[in-house]
Amino acid sequence: MADAGQTRPRGVLLLSGGLDSYTAGAIVRSQGYDLYALTIRYGQVHAREIESAASVARALGAVRHLELDVPLSKIGGSSLVGDGAIPKDRTIDAADIPSTYVPGRNTIFLSLAMAWAEAVDASAVVLGVNALDYSGYPDCRPEYLEAFERLAALATKAGVEGRRLSIMAPLLTLSKADIIRRGVSLGLDYSLTLSCYDPGPTGTPCGRCDSCALRARGFAEAGIPDPALIRH
């Protein structure tokens, strides 16, 4: 529950360890929010991102970083949880939902974040979804987020009492290049992040999956070297 002297608003940040959630968290922090970072181990084959998430949470000054195990790999249905190979070198088309789509992932993650937000009296859930430079996942669209915000108003004690939970997606209409520029302007260290769906044992990005391709294009269009590649 809230501390008696709480004055700053609180936001639960869904933190993956990639550059999008890092930037989203930094934007909301700059707006005066205290961040409670939530990272989900869902059986993802790129589990090294959990280490990056811990580094990012520290860099953001999160009040708390909670890691939860939700083994979506037992459900399957996605190459991100080991069902088939991670697609490489494909032409990214937002109208084509790729095999890296994880059934129900964002709905499950948002539900967990909603629950924690109630427990810590947070007024917002923050996530780094983007509707411009993305792989075509249906649960990254604005209408989906609007629907979940309506659900939260109906499904929670806070919502019933008139304390509406906001779903904040500050990157939703930004290009990947604009996201990177915004993060750099906020002083973010992107060498802490991992975006790759199929990294090597030491965390070296594959350079060929959708996430690597989108990240590389974003840094190129922003005219900024990717510090994660320099690190490796």
The domains of the chain, with CATH numbers, are 10-231 (3.40.50.620)
| pLDDT surpasses 90 at 36 | yes
Taking all residues of the chain, what is their mean pLDDT, rounded to a whole number? Answer: 93
Residue for token digits 């589990």?
Answer: 47
Token output for 187: 């002083």
Question: What does the pLDDT read at residue 135?
Answer: 66
The SS3 call for residue 66 is strand
Convert the pLDDT of each residue in 56-77 to its tens digit. 999 999 999 999 999 999 999 9
Percent with pLDDT over 70 in the chain: 95
Convert the pLDDT of each residue in 95-129 to its tens digit. 788 999 999 999 999 999 999 999 999 999 999 99
Convert the pLDDT of each residue in 78-96 to its tens digit. 999 999 999 999 988 877 8
Convert the pLDDT of each residue in 151-206 to its tens digit. 999 999 999 999 999 999 999 999 999 999 999 999 999 999 999 999 998 889 99
Q: Are 35 and 13 within 8 A, CB to CB?
A: yes
Helix 176-185 vs helix 19-30: crossing angle, to nearest 10: 50
The band of 2, judged by pLDDT with boundaries at 50, 70 and 90, is very low
Question: What does the pLDDT read at residue 232?
Answer: 54
Q: What is the DSSP string of 76-134?
A: --SGGGTSSPPPBSPPP-TTS--TT--TTHHHHHHHHHHHHHHHTT-SEEE----SSSS
Question: What does the pLDDT read at residue 6?
Answer: 62
Convert the pLDDT of each residue in 12-26 to its tens digit. 999 999 999 999 999
Q: Rounded to two decimals, what is the model's pTM?
A: 0.93
| pLDDT surpasses 60 at 1 | no
Q: Are 183 and 26 within 8 A, CB to CB?
A: yes
Residue for token digits 């992932």?
Answer: 105
Q: Measured at the alpha carbon of residue 29, what is the angle toward residues 124 and 226, in degrees to the nearest 5?
A: 115
- pLDDT mean over 33-40: 98
Judged on CB neighbours under 10 Å (0-12, 13-18, 19+), 49 is buried
